[in-house]
Amino acid sequence: MNKDIRQNFAVGVTMFVAIIFVLTTLVLISHSNKEGIVFAQSDSNASKFKAIRDQYLQSWENFGFQSIYDTYVVGGTNKGYGVYEERVSNLSSVSNASGVQSVSNASGVQSVSNASGVQSVSNASGVQSDANISKVSRANTFAPGETMYLYVEPVGFTHSPSANESKNALFTIDISADIIISAPNGTQLASIIDMPVVKVTSHQKNSELSLLLTLSQIKPFPVGDYDIKYVVKDKPSGRTFNIIKEITITR
């Protein structure tokens, strides 16, 4: 009799432990889901996200190659897309006053100079038309010798497809720029043509891209007003857009 009681008691304890284990597991799963953890639906959600992103990229590419935002920024503050300190025309910094004007960016440096201190004119025929010009601002005042950093957020640039050795899809962005310096009456004073700006290859079609176009007055510009035209080029498609900044050099 005592043996039967012990066996029944052991079976009851085992069932009780099993029930507690199942209930604990269900509670943990429920808590995890409340924290945003998805189990069986993860693949489905990834597919939905990809479909939404593909639809966005199709609209984005059809939007046209253009600048959605551009402004002069403080040198050294551009750390990526949307990360910069906007410049205030306070004439607080003067730099690069040693002798030869240059235009440069992260991918290379290009320079031309002459004795007058104004960069020489070259390849004027390579300048694109003014069909797509961003807003003009006269709130840009610089000191002689001060470097100008133009931050640009472009959209609609081309993602050129390719593949690596593993046959994985790759996409290349290739953008260059011209910089044209003119007097207010339209007389062209200097130009730099087809300056490399960015060429990057990625596993994704990156849409958040910022450019930094740097114009250094190594030999200071004479005091006065100037029109600076930036012609930004999407090299794979041949499309361009223009940004015009009307600046003043003053002491």
φ, ψ of residue 71 in degrees (nearest 5): -165, 155
SS (H, E, C) 24-82: HHHHHHHHHHHCCCCCCCHHHHHHHHHHHHHHHHHHHHHCCCEEEEEEEECCCCCCECC
Residue-level pLDDT at 164? 80
The pLDDT assigned to 158 comes to: 93
Q: Confidence band (pLDDT; 50, 70, 90) for 180?
A: very high
Band of pLDDT at residue 89, cut at 50, 70 and 90: low
Tell me: pLDDT of 96 over 80: no
User: pLDDT tens, 8-26?
Assistant: 544 454 554 455 554 555 5
Q: What is the pTM of this model?
A: 0.65
Question: Beta strands 211-216 and 188-202: pairing type?
Answer: unpaired
Q: How many CA atoms lie within 13 A of 47 on its CB side?
A: 5
Find the mean pLDDT for residues 156-185.
Answer: 92
Pairing between β-strand 224-234 and β-strand 169-182 as defined by DSSP bridges: antiparallel
End-to-end CA distance of the chain: 110
Q: How far apart are CA 142 and CA 226, in angstroms?
A: 11
110-155 pLDDT, tens digit per residue, is 333 333 334 333 333 333 444 444 433 445 899 999 999 999 999 9
Query: What percent of the chain stands above pLDDT 90?
Result: 45
Summarised one tens digit per residue, pLDDT across range 185-217 is: 999 999 989 999 999 999 999 999 999 999 988
State the average pLDDT for the chain.
74
Q: Give the pLDDT of residue 133.
A: 43
Residue 180's nearest CA partner among 142, 221, 124 is 124
